[in-house]
Amino acid sequence: MSSAEFENIATLEDEFTESPEVTPERQVEMSAHDISIWFNKRKVLEGVNIEFPKRTVTALIGPSGCGKSTFLRTLNRLHELIPGAALAGEIRYEGKDIYAPEVDPVLIRLAIGMVFQKPNPFPSMTIRGNVLAGLKLSGMKRPNHDDIVEETLTAAGLWTEVKDRLNHEAGSLSGGQQQRLVIARALAVNPHVLLMDEPCSALDPASTLKVEETIRQLSKDITIIIVTHNMQQAVRVADYTAFFLAAEGEPGHIVEQGPTTDIFGNPQDQRTLDYVNGRFG
Amino acid sequence: MTTTLFDNSRVSELRLQQAALPWRRRTANFRVAVAIAVIVPPVIVGLLWFLTSIPKPILMLVIYLPLQLIASAIAAWSQRGTKAVLDSAIIVCAIGATIFSFVILISVLWSIVSNGVHALSWAFLFQNNVYISPSTPLGYGGVGNAILGTIMVVVIASLFAVPLGIATAVYITEVRGKAVPYVRFLVQAMSGVPSVVAGLFILTVFILTGVLQSSGFAAGLAYAILMLPTVARTAEEVLKLIPDDLRTGALALGSTRARVVMKVVLPAAKTGLITAAILGIARVVGETAPLLLTALSNDQTVLNPFNQPITALPAYIFSNVAQPYPDAVTRAWGAALVLVILVAILFTITRVLTAKRVRR
Ligand SMILES: Nc1ncnc2c1ncn2[C@@H]1O[C@H](COP(=O)(O)OP(=O)(O)OP(=O)(O)O)[C@@H](O)[C@H]1O
Ligand SMILES: [Mg+2]
């Protein structure tokens, strides 16, 4: 990967922040404090407390329907767009409450990018247009668009497949290619945090590995929070893991969280042990 | 390259296998039954058609339809038992209804073409109606001014109705404000407004008060009132089809709501929005009453939409069709044919434009 751009950011940020190796206690980029989430009257998540240290990968795992996607969407204020959605608690980004009244959600979403469960390229735009869509939509100015396109598509593992047809419509790509395209699109606006909701569920093993490599590479510069159903993937990419669970008819919560090696190697809770060994969920 | 993977002999082998699939095969018996059911009733009715003097509609409805139903029912029953009888009846009725509406459509088109084609000539298309009276023979004068008039009025109406209609749809589907139910109700109510009322509205509010003259512009406003609900409702349906994933995707990139609409939703819906505009135009292009109230008529070619009355095709047809001179009536048919052709051209152009966008 031509990572000149990313190294650039890294050196830039190093001027302002201590590098992770120096401090024993890693700096916290985002944190959730006593978060509960409702859809209308129905509470789907309760009492979630978690910290996401800077430049780390955190995996959120847990059975289907336990509220992982919903939680992820509260981290960049997408949850509030659903009619009837409500939230209690506090989400902090760089120490500040992102739901404070004076905060502009548009800027939060620009700094905290997201890749969705289903690929959603913009059908009216070309492949190149999709990669650069974030710049156009947010009004962000970055020079050298050609370089951005090549870098982000390379990072997403799509460059060699599309470099000769950048001006074709995005709809002409396969589902897996579309997913890698939207990963590139999310990277083009230089997010500080990247939320990924099962980014590899539509990908073949080769592109999955490619994307995982990209995640590892990116985590040198940015904070990544990834939802995954793939245990091996969590082990491969994540520094930390949080296990979500919702009992029948009750809101979901975090059963256990900590370094990935602990969650998978030495879980404290029987339910975690069962889940990571594929015994339920 | 990968072409070596495909061996032609394998492919034809596969085809053979497919042809031999048991559920594909139909017995000779079955074919005979179908052939009898399809051939016998038409032959009987064909004989009656030429040899007797039974009125044709009665022949078709009272004799042919029951005969066909019975024949198909028997054929179906002989092959697949009683359950198939209802099946066959439904199929016969569906085919019958399709043919019926098709025949009506074709006969309308045919009457326009056969009556109007005599009037067509270059002079008819390009000359105006000055010095022409209803008794003037064909070959002199034409609808050139009325074609221009129709185009002018429709363009003016579109300039108002298309942006307003799309804006209304955007309010309903994108802004999702508190007033959505009321706006929707209003649009629905508006689509029930008779065209003569739209004309009267412009006449009393703008023309009789001296704000506007009877002109192409006034007629365009009246057309716009009629066009707006069609455009708004079609555009709403189109925008509803755009998946929410695209909107959240754009928002997640740090986009404002306005940019989501302008740069993602509307471009993604472009084809459908063009269709909405076309449907709106098709809705109004033949309306006569608003023209008579707001544009009056004018035998001359008019290019200024503001200062004088104009004639558009429906008004031309209206004023000629009731004349006691056969040539005037033929001219009316000719104008109707021109109107149909104009609409057909419009539809074809958009079909070509939109099809291209989909393929690329
Ligand atoms: N828009 C919505 N309206 C109402 N309820 C919702 C909505 N979205 C999600 N839910 C409910 O919230 C709960 C959590 O859903 P969520 O999508 O967060 O699960 P998940 O953990 O991401 O599951 P999966 O692994 O299958 O993606 C579910 O019970 C779901 O039914
Ligand atoms: Mg999910």
Mean pLDDT of chain B: 89
Q: Considering the domain boundaries, does residue B123 fall inside one?
A: no
In chain A, whose CA is at the least distance from the CA of B246?
Answer: A120
Q: What is the pTM of this model?
A: 0.81
Task: Please count the CA atoms within 13 angstroms of the CA of A278 that sit on its side-chain side.
Answer: 4
Q: Considering the domain boundaries, does residue B156 fall inside one?
A: yes
Nearest CA to ligand 1 atom 31: A65
Q: What is the pLDDT of residue B1?
A: 41
Tokens of B229: 């609900």
Q: What is the pLDDT of residue A16?
A: 42
B251 touches chain A (CB under 8 A): yes
Q: What are phi and psi of B67, to 5 degrees?
A: -60, -45
Question: Do B112 and B150 have their domain in common?
Answer: no
Question: Do B151 and B270 have their domain in common?
Answer: yes
With the most atoms of ligand 1 within 8 angstroms of its CB, the residue from A40, A42, A66 to mutate is A66
Rounded CA separation A53/A61 (Å): 18
Q: Which residue in A109, A123, A169 is closest to B254 by CB distance?
A: A109
B56 touches chain A (CB under 8 A): no
Question: Do B325 and B250 have their domain in common?
Answer: yes
What does each C-alpha distance from B209 to A85, A211, B122, B170, B196 come to in angstroms?
Answer: 52, 70, 41, 34, 19
Q: Considering the domain boundaries, does residue B187 fall inside one?
A: yes
Question: Do B259 and B202 have their domain in common?
Answer: yes
Q: What is the mean pLDDT of residues B131-135?
A: 87
The CA-based diameter of chain A, rounded to the nearest angstrom, is: 52
Residues contacting B239, CB < 8 A, separation 6+? B169, B170, B172, B173, B174, B265, B269, B272
CATH of the domain at B221: 1.10.3720.10
Tokens of B302: 């008019």
Dist. CA A71 → ligand 2 center (Å): 9
Question: Do B106 and B240 have their domain in common?
Answer: no
Task: Please count the CA atoms within 13 angstroms of the CA of A233 that sit on its side-chain side.
Answer: 28
Q: What is the pLDDT of residue B10?
A: 59
> Distance, in angstroms, between B270 CA and closest chain A CA?
9
Residue B347 CB-density burial (10 A; 0-12 exposed, 13-18 middle, 19+ buried): middle
Q: What is the pLDDT of residue A115?
A: 95
A110–B270 C-beta distance less than 8 A: no
> Distance, in angstroms, between B118 CA and closest chain A CA?
47
Question: Do B77 and B222 have their domain in common?
Answer: no
A122–B268 C-beta distance less than 8 A: yes
B251–A109 C-beta distance less than 8 A: yes
Question: Do B183 and B225 have their domain in common?
Answer: yes
Domain residues for the domain of B66 are: 27-117
Nearest CA to ligand 1 atom 7: A39
Residues 80-119 of A with CB under 8 A from B: 81, 83, 106-107, 109-111, 113-114, 116, 118
Dist. CA A60 → ligand 1 center (Å): 14
Q: Considering the domain boundaries, does residue B240 fall inside one?
A: yes
Question: Do B110 and B156 have their domain in common?
Answer: no
Q: Is the pLDDT of residue B320 over 50?
A: yes
Q: What is the mean pLDDT of residues B169-177?
A: 93
Q: What is the pLDDT of residue A4?
A: 45
Q: Considering the domain boundaries, does residue B182 fall inside one?
A: yes
Residues 157-186 of B with CB under 8 A from A: 176
Q: Which residue in B263, B270, B360 is closest to A137 by CB distance?
A: B263
B249 to chain A: which residues are within 8 Å by CB?
116, 120, 122, 182
Task: Single out the residue in B78, B98, B117 at which a domain terminates.
Answer: B117
A78–B268 C-beta distance less than 8 A: no
> Distance, in angstroms, between A113 CA and closest chain B CA?
6
> Distance, in angstroms, between B206 CA and closest chain A CA?
42
Number of domains in chain B: 2
Q: What are phi and psi of A195, to 5 degrees?
A: -95, 130
Q: Considering the domain boundaries, does residue B4 fall inside one?
A: no
Q: Considering the domain boundaries, does residue B96 fall inside one?
A: yes
Question: pLDDT tens digits, residue range B202-242?
Answer: 999 999 999 999 999 999 999 999 999 999 999 999 999 99
Query: What 3-state DSSP class applies to A224?
Result: strand
A124 to chain B: which residues are within 8 Å by CB?
264, 267-268, 270
Question: Do B353 and B234 have their domain in common?
Answer: yes
Q: Considering the domain boundaries, does residue B95 fall inside one?
A: yes
- CATH code given to domain A7-276: 3.40.50.300
Instruction: Name the pLDDT band for B306 (thresholds 50, 70, 90).
Output: very high
What does each C-alpha distance from B196 to A17, A58, A131, B159, B192 come to in angstroms?
Answer: 73, 67, 52, 21, 12
Rounded CA separation A266/A281 (Å): 19
Instruction: Name the pLDDT band for B53 (thresholds 50, 70, 90).
Output: confident
Question: Do B195 and B338 have their domain in common?
Answer: yes
B254–A110 C-beta distance less than 8 A: yes
A65 lines ligand 1 (CB under 6 A): yes
Predicted-complex ipTM score: 0.86
Query: What 3-state DSSP class applies to B131?
Result: coil
Counting as low any pLDDT under 70, the low residues of chain A are 1-26, 280-281
Question: Do B94 and B152 have their domain in common?
Answer: no
Q: What is the pLDDT of residue B359?
A: 41
> Distance, in angstroms, between B180 CA and closest chain A CA?
14
Tokens of B123: 């002079």
Tokens of A214: 């990209």
Q: What is the mean pLDDT of residues B89-111?
A: 93
Size of interface A-B (CB pairs under 8 A): 75
> How is A90-140 classified by DSSP, letter by letter?
EEEETTEETTSTT--HHHHHHHEEEE-SS----TTSBHHHHHTHHHHHHT-
A140 touches chain B (CB under 8 A): yes
Q: Is the Cβ–Cβ distance between A125 and B268 less than 8 Å?
A: no
Q: What is the mean pLDDT of residues B95-119?
A: 94
Question: pLDDT tens digits, residue range B19-44?
Answer: 555 555 567 788 888 888 888 888 99
Q: Is the Cβ–Cβ distance between B89 and B73 less than 8 Å?
A: yes
A64 lines ligand 1 (CB under 6 A): yes
Q: What is the pLDDT of residue A2?
A: 45
Question: Do B161 and B261 have their domain in common?
Answer: yes
